[in-house]
């Protein structure tokens, strides 16, 4: 059973266990230990814009070099860029220092395999075992056997930008398209404007001045309200909001309406279905996706496969089903022909390719999917297990489930990265959902979980 790793790497408040420099140093040593016997081993490291990134990066680099393994530092760059660059530079593994969409106080460490895929549960468990057993305690090379660090940030950004542009036809351009980009004061603040400008778009950029503490602060894919306002103000064709590490994107249409990950997937999947380019007519998504997504895909002759929450599980199912498109409502979408993980920039270009091909505004394309009302509740708890042991709460959940019947659903799950219980209510009647959510809030307050 894993103790350090959650659903998406190691994550926590920076400078508190397990996100301390000391732990990062030891994790760096363990990661390097795994590959020490390979020929010319090297590990690639990238990060987002959090103030704690430098501290954790320095500790990781020191730990890796102290084992005798070299480091390639690519600086502030999106998470999917680390996955790509790990493959490009033929590194043994890649490490991202980021807490994605979380507040700046948090940070995280996640590993990519040499092929750009995320570490499996068993590989993470192996890191924990070596770490907990202090198996590296006698590994202290000296002299020329100490590892060295190489800085590649400028050239790495160019490599990634060129790769992203290579995922669309060579004659594709964004001339006559006006787009507003919300970079969440995060890892896309340089590369996103560069990509869109090089493709000829008229670009307006907001939230692209990171200072270490403003990442995701009332901006980005989790807070798109200011982007909606800016799209209307600029009379733009669309807006795109990335999250802090750039693996997600949420769109805003020309009328200022949010187009979420489900709708983006539906737009892209239906376009591929029309061209008979969606293998097996299948798309993979998670249990969180709107039921309207299933209806839109099925109406077009496709099939939706659902998995547990987390891009890792989406990708695993995509591989087993030989599916090329999958993702999450949050905007974490995987086009497996081009990437091993969600990529906000890549997804944005795939969406714009459909807009250009079909010569229709985003609002028109998004209308192919009718969304059912949903309410997402996040309850902060001291003890997630106690939540499930409360007879009163479980009774209320069962009652809501019975009342919704076949017209809707209630989905309860613990967050893998935060001390939260997440509850999704979905149905045809917004007012009823609001009544149910109020009952849940009252029950939780009464239990004082």
Catalytic residues, by residue number, are 100
What the block records as the tokens of 403 is: 């009342």
**Cβ neighbours, 10 Å, residue 448:** 7
Pairing of strands 106-113, 9-13: antiparallel
- Residue 111 and residue 107: Cα distance in Å, rounded? 14
**Cβ neighbours, 10 Å, residue 442:** 11
Pairing of strands 420-426, 374-380: antiparallel
What the block records as the tokens of 89 is: 């530079």
CB-CB contact of 427 with 433 (8 Å): yes
Closest CA to 305 of 321, 329, 324: 321
- E-assigned strand segments in 207-324: 238-242, 249-253, 258-259, 282-286, 303-307
Angle at 290 between CA 263 and CA 110, to 5 degrees: 80
Q: What is the 3-state secondary structure (H, E, C) of 131-168?
A: HHCCCCCCCCCCHHHCCCEEECHHHHHHHHHHHHHHCC
What's the burial of 331, exposed, middle or buried (CB within 10 Å: 0-12/13-18/19+)? buried
Spatial neighbors of 157 by CB under 8 A, at least 6 apart, are 74, 75, 77, 81, 190, 191, 194
Q: In what order do the strands lie in the sheet with 70-76?
A: 5-6, 9-13, 106-113, 93-97, 42-47, 70-76, 149-151
Q: What are the DSSP calls for 67-87, one per residue?
A: HT-EEEEEEE--HHHHHHHHH
Q: What are the DSSP calls for 321-377, one per residue?
A: HT-SEEE-TTS-EEETTT-SS--HHHHHHHHHHHHHHHT--HHHHHTTSPPPPEEEE
């Amino acid at each position: 059973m894993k103790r350090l790793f959650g659903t998406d790497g190691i994550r926590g408040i920076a400078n508190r266990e397990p996100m301390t420099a000391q732990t990062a140093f030891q994790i760096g040593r363990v990661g390097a230990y795994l590959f020490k016997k390979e020929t010319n081993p090297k590990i690639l490291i990238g990060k987002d814009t959090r103030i704690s990134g430098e501290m954790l990066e320095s500790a990781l680099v020191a730990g890796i070099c102290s084992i005798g393994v070299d480091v390639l530092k690519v600086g502030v760059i999106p998470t999917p860029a680390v996955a790509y660059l790990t493959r490009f530079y033929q590194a043994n593994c890649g490490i991202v220092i980021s807490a994605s969409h979380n507040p700046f106080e948090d940070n995280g460490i996640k590993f990519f395999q040499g092929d750009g895929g995320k570490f499996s549960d068993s590989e993470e468990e192996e890191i924990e075992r070596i770490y907990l057993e202090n198996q590296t305690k006698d590994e202290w090379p000296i002299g020329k056997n100490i590892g060295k660090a190489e800085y590649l940030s400028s050239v790495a950004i160019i490599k990634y930008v060129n790769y992203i542009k290579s995922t669309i036809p060579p004659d594709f351009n964004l001339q006559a398209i006006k787009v507003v980009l919300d970079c969440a004061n995060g890892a896309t603040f340089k590369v996103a404007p560069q990509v869109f400008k090089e493709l000829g778009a008229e670009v307006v950029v907001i939230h692209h001045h990171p200072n270490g503490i403003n990442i995701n602060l009332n901006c980005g894919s989790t807070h798109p309200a200011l982007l909606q306002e800016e799209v209307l103000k600029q009379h733009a064709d669309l807006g795109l909001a990335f999250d802090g590490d750039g693996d997600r994107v949420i769109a805003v249409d020309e009328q200022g309406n949010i187009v979420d990950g489900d709708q983006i997937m539906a737009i892209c999947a239906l376009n591929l279905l029309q061209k008979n380019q969606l293998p097996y007519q299948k798309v993979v998504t998670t249990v969180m996706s709107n039921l309207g997504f299933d209806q839109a895909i099925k109406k077009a002759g496709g099939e939706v496969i659902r998995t547990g929450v987390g891009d890792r599980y989406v990708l695993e199912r995509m591989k087993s089903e030989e599916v090329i498109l999958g993702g999450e409502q949050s905007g974490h979408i995987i086009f497996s022909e081009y990437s091993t993980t969600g990529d906000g920039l890549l997804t944005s270009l795939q969406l714009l390719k459909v807009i250009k091909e079909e010569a229709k505004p985003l609002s028109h394309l998004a209308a192919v999917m009718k969304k059912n009302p949903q309410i997402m509740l996040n309850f902060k708890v001291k003890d997630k297990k106690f939540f499930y042991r409360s007879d009163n709460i479980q009774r209320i959940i069962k009652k809501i489930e019975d009342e919704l019947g076949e017209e809707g659903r209630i989905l309860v799950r613990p967050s893998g990265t935060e001390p939260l219980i997440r509850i999704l209510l979905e149905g045809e009647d917004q007012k009823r959902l609001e009544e149910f959510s109020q009952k849940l809030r009252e029950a939780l307050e009464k239990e004082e979980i």
